[in-house]
Structure 1
Amino acid sequence: MSADDGQASCVQASHVHEEHAVFWAVRGVASDLEVAGIQRSLAPGQGLFVPAGTPHGASRASTTALVVLFVDPGAWVEAPTQVASVVVNAALRELLVHLAEFAMPKEQRLRAQRVCLDLIADEPHVSLALPVPRDPRIEVIARAILSDPADDRSLEDWAYLTSASARTVVRAFRAETGMTFAEWRSCARMSAAVELLGEGIPVGVVARRVGYATASAFSAAFHRMMGRPPHRFLPERGVDVR
């Protein structure tokens, strides 16, 4: 088991590792991870298990909050068999940082590593997968919404602006993302919301920034999609992991 900040071992271009990888955010929100062509956003406490051999790309920027933990497949026979959301709670983060920064006898380190694996728990509906379309007919729409999630133009409006038919836009979104336009926009809004909440921005302000008229409507939609209320994605207090 080894931890790395992604600077050397992971690159933005798609690649694979012989080891399993567990990605997590050391601070704030990390949204610069792509696994099997799907963008992922990880808020504090969230992790993503990526099995050995799975194509992925991760930011090498010095500002990234993303950290990756590598695990020898032979050392973790209980590991998930596919990409899965996991919990990386404060206790696990502190222990991983301690293992990365301090030397200790081999047997003690092995015991601590086993504790780390035991602390990683399954947590469905915790990380947000956002497929970004590549089809040029709708990529411009997707990029515009990603830059301004509060943009409330209808599918027909977007079709007119891009000189395409509404039917073409509908089919392209379904083919490229597996979602309807409305479903994809909701996912994009929640992805933006997770990032804003991770920066400590109040729920009411986040609601307006991602296109909801009221905090209650946003909270209901967020809880329905993410499985947790928005306030659970605000930064943890009293935990300082560097």
Structure 2
Amino acid sequence: MRTAHDHLSVRNYGASHGSHDHDHFQILIGLGGVLELELAGRGQRITAGQGCVVPPGERHDFEARHGARCLVLDSHASDWARASKAPPSPAALALASYLARACTEQLPRARHIGPTLLLEAWLPPTTTLATRPRRDIDWEALARWALSRASSSPSVSELAARVHLSAAQLAARCRAERGQSTQQWLRELRLAQARAWRDEGVTVAEVARRSGYRSPSALTAARRRAGI
């Protein structure tokens, strides 16, 4: 299902090294050149006709020494968690070529329905997914654990491992049950704890250290952005 946050684009990557994470799924399909990607400690090369799904919260490094061109879908649709372990199907690769043209030629209807079609095409029709019992998440216990390690800024993957889920599964559950991304939920926890420490008279510098911010100014900026 397409969400208001879905965005299709064609991107050109160069030799400059990049590294980031985001609170949504990012789907990459190679159109030309070679994109070197390191995801969750594993390296892979995305060439024309290859693709991958980057789960929310997973930091990834990337570069294209000789240039690369990719179709990129940024999506908050939780169903991409089902496709994160599977390579794109031939149907998805064929569709990607058309969607790349839709992006470059500014075809609005194709770009609107493209994210939904790409998700449907990614997994082969014969793929069946086993239904597993849904594990409840004790959000209060998870919050206590995260705050006890706030100074080291636990990653989304570490949070997910704590409740025996993948980062993608935790991201989908957080949006469904908390109405926000995992990173937003964690950020609000840290800022609320920081405010409590300040109310107790703890110095800004010490609060920043305890809550995992690089400096007092970084903490102040985070609080300003959050309106606290």
- TM-score of the superposed pair, with normalisation by structure 1: 0.40
